[in-house]
Amino acid sequence: MKNISVIGSGTMGNGIAHVFAQFNYQVNLIDVNQEALDKAILTITKNLDRQIAKGTLSENQKIITLGNIKTFTAMKDGVQHADLVVEAATENVDLKLKIFKDLDQFAPADAILASNTSSISITQIAAATNRGDKVIGMHFMNPVPVMKLVEVIRGYQTTNETTKTIMSLSESLEKIPVEVNDYPGFVANRILMPMINEAIYTLYEGVAGVHEIDTVMKLGMAHPMGPLQLADFIGLDVCLAILKVLHDGFGNPKYAPCPLLVNMVTAGKKGAKTGEGFYKYTAGSKELIVADKFKKS
């Protein structure tokens, strides 16, 4: 397994491409938008420069890594020689089903098709193909070059051979793969999202403010960042989408998204990527400033 295709050049897609290329896999990064691809290569370059500054990468390794990545705007061209395709598109079930239907047509018959989905059923995704045995979840954590975990999700039809291949491949990237079964939210988000949702409810009900909630969780529970800051970092729209999958999948009201989260996403306040969520974000600033909406009068 040497040729890797990555679908989607956003935060997760460029991170996945970065890591595979750094470990000398040949990577085809695919997106419908050439500007998005150019931005992804710029992001990868900046992240490689950070590694060089930290002494974990050499200038020559950076050159080799970037040389291992090719960009494509046509899926058919980008996946025709793939041993593995990793889909990292938007967390939208209809979009993913269409992508996998197309991948089944364009990728080699023996290629493994993986999804970086954070909550959508691998079994459902696999049903859009004629190779359910070769479809699997490969859920990387953000930021991909830094985070060690890969949640490997077995769909109903995923074979032991496919699972072992992806577990071994993840280890070749110096990641730690953890095998889980295909149920809504898998493990990571089934546990994480209700915590984030409860933190939002705690704010919504006036129990405490943004800064206070995050401080309690950081100092009292040893979390590296508070749940509201983490939600901003993940993207409030992504959190909402995952909670809807959990709510629909289990039919349990405990997963119902907080109305405040719904309103914030509707208003376009999606977290760090839009410049405002529970906190405000300005270019180059690392200071966390509570958004005006949540400041105490």
- Burial pattern 88-111, b for ≥16 Cβ within 10 A else e, equals bbebebeebbebbebbbebbeeeb
**Which residue among the candidates 139, 170, 197, 247 is catalytic per the annotation?**
139
Q: Is 235 left (phi over 0), alpha (psi -120 to 50) or beta?
A: left
CA-based nearest residue to 177, from 159, 150, 155, 142 = 150
Distances (CA, A) of 175 to 23, 58, 149, 242: 11, 20, 6, 24
Determine whether the annotation assigns residue 11 to a binding site.
yes
**Which residue among the candidates 151, 197, 247, 276 is catalytic per the annotation?**
151
Determine whether the annotation assigns residue 76 to a binding site.
no
Active site residue 189: yes
Determine whether the annotation assigns residue 60 to a binding site.
no
Active site residue 168: no
* Structure tokens belonging to residue 91: 């967390």
Determine whether the annotation assigns residue 31 to a binding site.
yes
Determine whether the annotation assigns residue 12 to a binding site.
yes
CA distance 49 to 46: 5
**Which residue among the candidates 5, 116, 118, 121 is catalytic per the annotation?**
118
Determine whether the annotation assigns residue 96 to a binding site.
yes
Determine whether the annotation assigns residue 164 to a binding site.
no
Active site residue 139: yes
**Which residue among the candidates 119, 189, 197, 211 is catalytic per the annotation?**
189
Determine whether the annotation assigns residue 10 to a binding site.
yes
Active site residue 205: no
Determine whether the annotation assigns residue 276 to a binding site.
no
- β-partners of residue 136 are 114, 154
Give the residue numbers marked as catalytic: 118, 139, 151, 189
Q: Which residues are annotated as a binding site for NAD(+)?
A: 8-13, 31, 91, 96, 118, 142, 273
Q: Which residues are annotated as a binding site?
A: 8-13, 31, 91, 96, 118, 142, 273
